[in-house]
């Protein structure tokens, strides 16, 4: 296969050793997008983002332009950037916050101008110690360069950005939980409706929450026009996207690829990308889009990396992370570890999620350790059905947030496909892979 010659939009600088410095940034078109945006009206900037069909890169894939148009008009409103990045196997925002923090800040100022918000916050997971340093330095540099603060570049537009640390909680990636955390509280997701913080958000004021990668696209979109962005990719999946590839591949890493134009197989096997499976065995399963997503198998590998294409095949592109598991992988152990993650990270507000995740985890644990029973398989599926009725995809919402209904994905996937492997754990009284 050949890679398309699409430009690198968000990782143009990350190949340089000094990509995070203001010098490199300014030498490579830094703030050009912002300068141009400030010559446009806020509405014109919004039109370009709408024309780009920029889908949110945080997980849900909601069009940024649409989200922006929903922001309730108010004298006080906020923009909050989601840099919590805690979905297992997702590590693309990590690259952007450490590798090109000025681009992020430029994107935040552009979005703030377009939305006319009164203040912006960049929420970064607390474990990004270096990322926090780099983004704060980029914010400091932006103030010094006149790109932030009073009367930005003489435009009359003024803005402050505050960099805010999380403190270790996956659930704070859920946008309403993130807002609670930013208000100095436990990260309990808020009850919906309202479904969007655009109506009632931070401190009860209208708020747009966007992902780090989403806003990092804005300097390019403003400079090159929404149409140029929309010309890349296909259908609703436009532009490029960061794919975080991990697990059993020769070259794990973050790859920026034109949307839809490459398949899972390209990403995993191309010598310039994943480089194939090192053990030489086949691909047993692939988790597309984060551990909340149903799994894919060999027969899905030719699917294009596009949001709707993956959704139609019964899963989701989600956070753009792809985990490859080769033939040597124990599917029970994989499902158990993912479930244990959910069980640990459930915030505890909803019974199906809090209790269900713990029960599921304990049953999977005994199965993995050879102490399971045949009936456990049906018990697992029954419990999953209680959390996500009908085990449909996308799941029915039975809880306050989407974490709960995401728990069944790995269990339902692995039992449906690898029932024999589960039963082997029971009949042999041990993990056949151990």
Partner 1 sequence: MSHLSPERRQRCERLIALYPEKRSALIPLCHIAQEQDGYLSEPAMVEIAAMVGVTPAEVQGTATFYDMLHTEPVGTYVVGVCTNIACLLAGGDELLAHAEGALGVRAGGTTEDGVFTLEETECLADCDIAPCVQVNHRYVRTTTPEALDGLLAELRAGDRADEIPTHGTLIRVERTTGLTTDPEAIAAERAAKREEAGA
Q: Identify what 89 binds: ligand FMN, partner 1, ligand SF4, none; CB under 5 to 8 Å per kind.
A: partner 1
What span, in angstroms and rounded, lies between the C-alpha atoms of 295 and 285? 7
Binding site for ligand FES (CB under 6 A): 88-89
Find the shortest distance in angstroms from Cβ 306 to ligand FES.
24
Ranges within 239-278 binding partner 1 (CB under 8 A): 244-248, 252-254
- Rank residues 114 and 291 by Cβ distance to ligand FES and give the closer one: 291
Alpha helices in 151-217 (DSSP H): 175-182, 212-216
Ranges within 78-137 binding ligand FMN (CB under 6 A): 82, 84-87
Across the beta sheet with 119-124, what order do the strands follow? Answer: 161-165, 119-124, 78-83, 207-211
Convert residues 63-102 into a mask of x (bound to partner 1 by CB under 8 A) and - (unbound).
----------x-xxx-------xxxxxxx-xx--------
Other C-beta atoms closer than 10 Å to the C-beta of 150 total 11
Find the shortest distance in angstroms from Cβ 414 to ligand FES.
18
Q: Identify what 329 binds: partner 1, ligand SF4, ligand FES, none; CB under 5 to 8 Å per kind.
A: partner 1
Q: Does 299 bind partner 1 (CB under 8 A)?
A: no
List C-alpha distances in Å: 327 to 17, 135, 285.
37, 41, 8
- The 8 Å CB, 24+ separation contacts for 192-197 are 192/400, 196/67, 196/70, 197/80
Other C-beta atoms closer than 10 Å to the C-beta of 34 total 25
What span, in angstroms and rounded, lies between the C-alpha atoms of 326 and 335? 14
What span, in angstroms and rounded, lies between the C-alpha atoms of 80 and 119? 9
Instruction: Pick the closest to residue 219 from 99, 71, 111 (CA basis).
Output: 111
Find the shortest distance in angstroms from Cβ 256 to ligand FMN.
17
Alpha helices in 70-117 (DSSP H): 92-99, 101-115
What span, in angstroms and rounded, lies between the C-alpha atoms of 7 and 309? 22
Q: Does 180 bind ligand FMN (CB under 6 A)?
A: no
Q: Does 136 bind partner 1 (CB under 8 A)?
A: yes
Find the shortest distance in angstroms from Cβ 73 to partner 1.
6
Q: Does 403 bind ligand SF4 (CB under 6 A)?
A: yes
Ranges within 270-309 binding ligand FMN (CB under 6 A): none
Q: Does 162 bind partner 1 (CB under 8 A)?
A: yes
Q: Does 183 bind partner 1 (CB under 8 A)?
A: yes
Find the shortest distance in angstroms from Cβ 423 to ligand FES.
28
Q: Does 348 bind ligand SF4 (CB under 6 A)?
A: yes
The CA R_g of the chain, rounded to the nearest whole Å, is: 22
- Rank residues 183 and 302 by Cβ distance to partner 1 and give the closer one: 183
- Rank residues 138 and 286 by Cβ distance to ligand FES and give the closer one: 286
Q: Does 207 bind partner 1 (CB under 8 A)?
A: no
List C-alpha distances in Å: 384 to 250, 369, 378, 387, 408.
34, 21, 10, 5, 5
Q: Does 41 bind partner 1 (CB under 8 A)?
A: yes
Find the shortest distance in angstroms from Cβ 133 to ligand FES.
20
Through-space distance between the first and last CA atoms of the chain, rounded to whole angstroms: 37
Q: Identify what 82 binds: partner 1, ligand FMN, ligand SF4, none; CB under 5 to 8 Å per kind.
A: ligand FMN
Find the shortest distance in angstroms from Cβ 411 to partner 1.
14
CA 321 to the chain's CA centroid = 8
Instruction: Pick the closest to residue 298 from 278, 325, 337, 260 (CA basis).
Output: 325
Convert residues 202-221 into a mask of x (bound to ligand FMN by CB under 6 A) and - (unbound).
-------xxx--x-------
Ranges within 318-347 binding ligand SF4 (CB under 6 A): 346-347
What span, in angstroms and rounded, lies between the C-alpha atoms of 120 and 12? 25
What span, in angstroms and rounded, lies between the C-alpha atoms of 280 and 289? 24
Find the shortest distance in angstroms from Cβ 150 to ligand FMN.
28
Alpha helices in 116-202 (DSSP H): 129-144, 175-182
Using CB under 6 A, pick the residue from 1, 3, 51, 60 that binds ligand FMN: 60
Q: Does 354 bind ligand SF4 (CB under 6 A)?
A: yes
Q: Identify what 173 binds: ligand SF4, ligand FMN, partner 1, none; CB under 5 to 8 Å per kind.
A: ligand FMN
- Rank residues 68 and 336 by Cβ distance to ligand FMN and give the closer one: 68
Angle in degrees, 0-180, between the axes of helices 351-368 and 408-428, rounded to the nearest 10: 30
* Site residues (vs ligand FMN, CB under 6 A): 56-60, 62, 67, 82, 84-87, 171, 173-175, 209-211, 214, 401-403
């Amino acid at each position: 296969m050949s890679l398309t010659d699409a430009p690198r939009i968000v990782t143009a600088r990350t190949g340089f050793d000094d990509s995070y410095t203001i010098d490199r940034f300014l030498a490579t078109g830094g703030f050009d997008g912002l300068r141009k945006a400030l010559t446009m009206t806020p509405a014109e900037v919004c039109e370009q983002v709408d024309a780009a069909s920029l889908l949110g890169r945080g997980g849900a894939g909601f069009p940024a332009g649409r989200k922006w148009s929903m922001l309730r008009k108010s004298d006080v409103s906020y923009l909050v950037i989601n840099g919590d990045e805690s979905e297992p196997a997702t590590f693309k925002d990590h690259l952007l916050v450490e590798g090109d923090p000025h681009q992020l800040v430029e994107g935040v100022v552009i979005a703030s101008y377009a939305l006319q918000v009164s203040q912006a916050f960049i929420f970064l997971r607390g474990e990004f110690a270096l990322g926090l340093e780099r983004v704060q330095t980029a914010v400091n540099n932006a103030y010094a360069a006149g790109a932030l603060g009073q009367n930005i570049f003489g435009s009359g537009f003024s803005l402050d950005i505050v960099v805010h640390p999380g403190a270790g909680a996956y659930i704070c990636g859920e946008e309403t939980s993130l807002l609670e955390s930013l208000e100095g509280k436990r990260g309990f997701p808020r009850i919906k409706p309202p479904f969007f913080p655009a109506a009632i958000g931070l401190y009860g004021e209208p708020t747009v929450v966007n992902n780090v990668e989403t806003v990092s696209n804005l300097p390019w979109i403003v400079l090159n026009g929404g149409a140029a962005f929309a010309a890349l990719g296909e259908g609703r999946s436009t532009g490029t996207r960061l794919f975080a590839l991990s697990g059993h591949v020769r070259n794990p890493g973050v790859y920026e690829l034109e949307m839809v134009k490459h398949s899972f197989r390209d990403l995993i096997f191309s010598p310039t990308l994943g480089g194939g499976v090192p053990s030489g065995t086949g691909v047993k399963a692939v988790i597309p889009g984060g551990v909340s997503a149903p799994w894919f198998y060999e027969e899905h590998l030719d699917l294009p990396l596009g949001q709707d294409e993956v959704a139609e095949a019964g899963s989701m592109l989600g956070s753009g992370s792809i985990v490859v598991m080769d033939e040597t992988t124990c599917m029970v152990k994989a499902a158990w570890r993912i479930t244990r993650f959910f069980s640990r990270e459930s915030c505890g507000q909803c019974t199906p999620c809090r209790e269900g995740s713990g029960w599921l985890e304990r049953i999977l644990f005994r199965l993995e350790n050879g102490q399971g029973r045949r009936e456990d398989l049906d018990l697992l599926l029954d419990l999953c059905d209680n959390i996500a009725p009908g085990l449909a995809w996308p799941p029915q919402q039975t809880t306050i947030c989407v974490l709960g209904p995401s728990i069944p994905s790995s269990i339902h996937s692995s039992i449906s496909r690898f029932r024999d492997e589960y039963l082997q754990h029971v009949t042999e009284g041990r993990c056949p892979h151990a």
